[in-house]
Structure 1
């Protein structure tokens, strides 16, 4: 039978329980615990009275304050939609110059455009639009199809080598694989192309570069132009800058010339509205990065 007694050290009664000579004190619950328990209970009762709280079959207790979170959210959505209509109408009617000159509109373009870019473009071009192997760096401003917002919007809309009826079409022939150029001519034109962006001293001797220039003039100028700066109407890249989609080292350039290239970009005409296309194109146009 448990027998309570006074503990001589603390002056408190024991519970009478003992384990191996250790006795348990009958310590009361701290007052601070009782206080917070009472405060929590009081808060719950007041909340149940004032706010919607208890389900009642097909309805619920409304509370004395009559607050309805659905109505609050609906009002917030309505307000946000009205605010969006204001600036989207301005963007639809404004030209690029007017949009870029308006700091408030550009802030909306940056915020909305970034979300559109991350949702639709980042998988290939990267979150920061810096591209990667096979995908161009959009901050470099080395455009294949033109860098004006309307041209960018058109590229996004119809895609490149996509299933859209109006898709942009571009392909680099496989000069080596298909036997258009012999091996020595492929090597020579690679040396010439490397000299355009890296300088003659970085590639081969002058004679090899001169031979490559002749091959280039006979086979490549139709797309890349006589100055090798590319042509936007056929999506041919500028070969004189330092921005490469498939790599600017000798091996990568040789592979491009020998085996050809055919990039692919899906069209977004069925997914993005005309407004979204304009916002996204303006956002891409506004991206800052290294230029050549």
Structure 2
């Protein structure tokens, strides 16, 4: 432009315009900056040629390398799926009670079971498997088990459920209601005897007799319970529906008995096996105890 001139103090030409006596110098960009700009342009052109870049209607330009983040993810997932398939095949072959013999496979089973537990079991038993005494969902972290806490017993419970309708082999125990069966003094004596079984109350001969006549056949003479019948222990500090005198009285008069769905047909056998391993690993799992195929249950039949 005709108005351009050389700024005398700096020797730099001006851009040719001024405002209120103020002019702008036409200072050239540093060489390193220009070369960086040129290199980024070249890099951009190369990237557009080699990799997906321009979006189209239903896809993007593929690039001469044929690479995509989706394709890379698919390859990685394929590797993971193959590893998972291998583990599941191994789990399908090994009996659940022998899982602890293979520490690596057992760890994989516990990890898979933990994920399955959060999806299928945490709604009732809680995310930490602590259960809910208010709602009657058992705590799976302790060592109190109605039907046994070894891997085979836990797997059986998961497969067949507890009082699950339409399942022939479901776990079943029934406590009869005793409403109207006792006078008030008899009921109070019975509650005190039950409290005495875990050291919290004082028993009487009347309470002990009422217990022997009505309760010992299932719960045992000393309140030790009976797993073959699903009768809970009464001589420890673990109670499903509360351990106050009022809770015990309510359970005697009108028993609450929960249900657990059966998972056979809903979950595949390997997932059930992993769930068994996870529940067993929570802290209350027991060693396998072999029992007779048709065990005989002895009860105290004394009047």
- Same structural fold, with TM-score higher than 0.5 when normalized by the shorter chain: yes
Contact 2:149 2:284 survives alignment (8 Å): no
Does the CA contact (< 8 Å) of 2:195 and 2:201 recur in 1?
A: yes
2:162 matched residue in structure 1: 160
Q: Which residue of 2 aligns with 1:274?
A: 269
Q: Counterparts of 2:163 and 2:44 in 1: how far apart (Å)?
A: 63
Change (3 A) 1:252 1:238: same
TM-score (norm 1): 0.78
Cα 1:246–1:16 shift into 2, 3 Å: farther
Asked whether the equivalents of residues 279 and 285 of structure 2 are also in contact (C-alpha less than 8 Å), the reply is no
CA contact (8 A) 1:223 1:236 kept: yes
Residues 144 and 238 in structure 2, CA contact (< 8 A), matched pair in contact too:
yes
Say if 2:144 is the partner of 1:142. Answer: yes
Preserved contact between residue 197 and residue 222 of structure 2 (Cα < 8 Å): no
Partner of 1:184: 185
Aligned-partner SS, 1:123: helix
RMSD, aligned α-carbons: 3.6
Using the TM superposition, give the Cα deviation of residue 266 of structure 1 relative to its aligned residue in structure 2, in angstroms.
Answer: 1.7
> Scaled by the length of structure 2, what TM-score is found?
0.75
**1:232 matched residue in structure 2:** 227
- What does the per-residue CA deviation read over 1:156-190, in whole Å, with 9 as the maximum and x for residues that have no partner? 12221222422322332321xx3122222221111
Deviations along 1:95-142, one digit per CA (max 9) or x if unpaired, are 345421222112201210101111111111112212221111112121
- Provide structure 2 residue ranges, at least 5 long, that are not aligned to the other structure: 1-6, 8-13, 287-303
Question: In the alignment, what sits opposite 2:55?
Answer: 55
Q: Is the 8 A contact 2:163 2:171 kept in 1?
A: yes
Paired position in structure 2 for 1:128: 128
| Aligned twin of 1:249 | 244
Structure 2 partner of 1:215? 210
Shift of the 272–211 alpha-carbon distance from structure 1 to 2, 3 Å rule, reads: same
Q: How many residues align?
A: 272
State the shift of 1:69 in Å. Answer: 3.4
Matches within 5 A, 1:35-46: 44-46=44-46
Q: 1:145 to 1:290 in 2, by over 3 A?
A: closer
Query: 2:109, 2:273 within 8 Å by CA — same for their partners in 1?
Result: no
* Structure 1 unaligned spans of 5+: 1-5, 7-12
Partner of 1:10: none
Say which structure is richer in helix. Answer: 1
Q: CA deviation at 1:143?
A: 0.7
Residue 282 of structure 2, aligned match among 266, 287, 292: 287
Secondary structure of the structure 1 residue equivalent to 2:228: coil
